Structures are given as C-alpha cells and as structure tokens.
Structure 1
Amino acid sequence: MSDEDLEQIRRARLQQLQQERGGGGGGGQGGEGSEQDSQRQRENDQRNSILSQILTPDAADRLGRIRLVKESRATDIENRLIMLARTGQIRQKVTEDQLKDILGAVAEQNEKEESKIVVNRRGGNWDDDDELEELMKDV
C-alpha cells in the first residue's frame, strides 16, 4: 500500500468516527440534528430549573435514585411535579416525605392502568382425580 492509500483510509475512518459522534465534518443534515439537540437541551435545562426550584435537596436526591432504578417512573413523577408547580398547587419546596406520597399515588395510578391476565379453564378436561375415580369403578 502506498502512503496515499493509507491517507485516504485514515480520512475515511476519521470521517466515519466524526459522524458516529455527531461531530462536525461535511454532512448536509448536521445543522438540522444540531438544532434538535439544542432544543432538547433547552427543554431539559428548563425542566431541571423548575425541579431545582420546587424540590428540597433530599427530595432531589431521592428522585435521582429513583431515576437510576426506573427512569420512566422518575419521568412520571417529574411531569406530575412540574404540572403541580405550573398550576400553582405547590406553594413551598417539596420534601422527601411529600415526594414519597406522590410516588405512592403514581404507583397506584399505574397499577390501575395495567391490564390483568385472566385464565379461564374450560370444562371437560380430565385431571388425575378423574382418572382415579374411573379406575376405582372397575375394581
């Protein structure tokens, strides 16, 4: 292989790595993805700002631990807290105990929404007792 071939391979690999990381380099859609990323980042910053204003440090810590275990549950709780804050129903910072109460309410709501599996057994199936009774008749 010549030095020129190696250089072309290096450039192609560098471009591939930059595209995987979302880094710069000549893609036509790079600006569009960047705009969506910045919008998502602004929304995240706004959420974090609201949560830091309405949660005590202990409550924020508990919410972080909940996020480690089940991210969807933490997101549900955050959404509920933000809704309560925007509607003026939260007048002081939410404590850890209040957060536990909200967590319980969200868990109850999720349990009600979950569908239940019901097994219906049809009649006429034989079981071991039926076979024993049949054998005992012959004796």
Structure 2
Amino acid sequence: MADDDLQAIRARRMAEMRGASGGGELPAGLPAGMTAAAGGAGGGQNAAEEAEKKSQMEEMRRTMLFQILDNQARERLARIKIVKGDKARAVEDLLIRMAQSGQIRSKVNETTLIGLLEQINEANQKETKIVYNRRRDDDSEDEDWGL
C-alpha cells in the first residue's frame, strides 16, 4: 500500500472516532484508539450531555402523553404517580407503545385508563396461597398433661 492510501485510511478512521466520541479533537497525548472521555478529560461534558439528553427524552414523553390522554385521564394518572410511581410509569410506557404501534386512534379517556389499570393489576397480581399445618396424633399435647 502506498503512503497516501494509509494516510487517507488513518484520516477516515480519525474522523469516525471523532464522530463517535462527540466530535471534539483528540488530545495529542492520547493513543489512537482512546477517546477523550476514556482518557479522563471532558468527563463532565459527557455527563452534561447525558443529562440534557435525558431531559429531552422526558419532555418528549410528557408531550406524547399530553397528546394521548384527555384531561381527566391525565389527572388520574398524576394521582396514581403520587402513590405508586412504578405502576404509573408502566401505564405510561404501555400507552406510548400502543400509540406508536397505532393501537390508539383517539385520546384515551378516564374509563379506558381504568380498564388498562385493571389489566395491569390482573397481570401482576400474585395469587396468595395459605397452607395449614395440622398436628398429627403423635404430636398431641394430651400426653404432656397425663390425661
């Protein structure tokens, strides 16, 4: 291979690595395979980007739920979130998946939301089982009293 070809391959690879690491220049002291985040420099910037990305995702989630639910259903879901946050999150996830797959054609009202909650409760409901351990005749306490 010619030196020009190797230079072009190296330049393309460096551009790919910069794109994957967030677009910044690689510091001169780092080896070719190591990104700036892995070297310890710029770790705060990645955390800020992650926090920004997470807040954008939550905002998208809220807007989708605003479009999916009517006012009464939204209020009920907010009350459920106060008491059982994990159950409310599961219902929100289910509603978003249903909307993305096209199963929801109009806004979800409160009665439909109650039906979804009942379905989730039935699916997650654990059956309680009671076991009675009865004494046997040989374990009778009558013998202890001498009767």
TM-score, structure 1 length as denominator? Answer: 0.66
Q: How far, CA to CA, are the matches of 2:127 and 2:122 in structure 1? A: 13
- Deviant stretches of 4+, over 6 Å: none
Relative to structure 1, the CA distance from residue 121 to residue 90 in structure 2 (aligned partners, 3 Å threshold; closer, same or farther) is same
CA RMSD of aligned residues (A): 2.8
CA drift of 1:49 comes to 1.1
Higher helix share: 1
1:89 matched to 2:120:
no
The structural deviation recorded for 1:118 is: 6.6
Corresponding residue for 2:66?
A: 52
Check 1:126–1:100 CA distance in 2 against 1; reply closer, same or farther (3 A cut): farther
**Equivalent position of 2:57 in the other structure:** 43
Query: Which of structures 1 and 2 has the larger relative contact order (alpha carbons within 8 angstroms, sep 6+)?
Result: 1
User: Shift in Å at residue 32 of structure 1?
Assistant: 1.4
- Aligned residue pairs total 107
3-state SS, counterpart of residue 78 of structure 2: helix
- The residue aligned with 1:71 is 85
How high is the sequence identity, in percent, across the aligned residues? 34
Q: Which amino acid aligns with 1:40?
A: K
1:93 is paired with a residue of what secondary structure?
coil
Please give the alpha-carbon distance, in whole angstroms, between the structure 2 residues aligned to 1:88 and 1:72: 24
TM-score by length of 2: 0.62
Stretches of structure 1 lacking an aligned partner (at least 5 in a row): 1-26
Which of 89, 101, 117 does residue 103 from structure 1 map onto?
117
Alignment of 1:113-128 (within 5 A): 114=126, 121=133
Instruction: Give the drift of 1:75.
Output: 0.3
Give the partner amino acid of 2:105: R
Partner deviation per Cα, 1:75-128 (whole Å, 9 max, x = no partner): 0000110011011110110001110110111111111xx48677585976976x
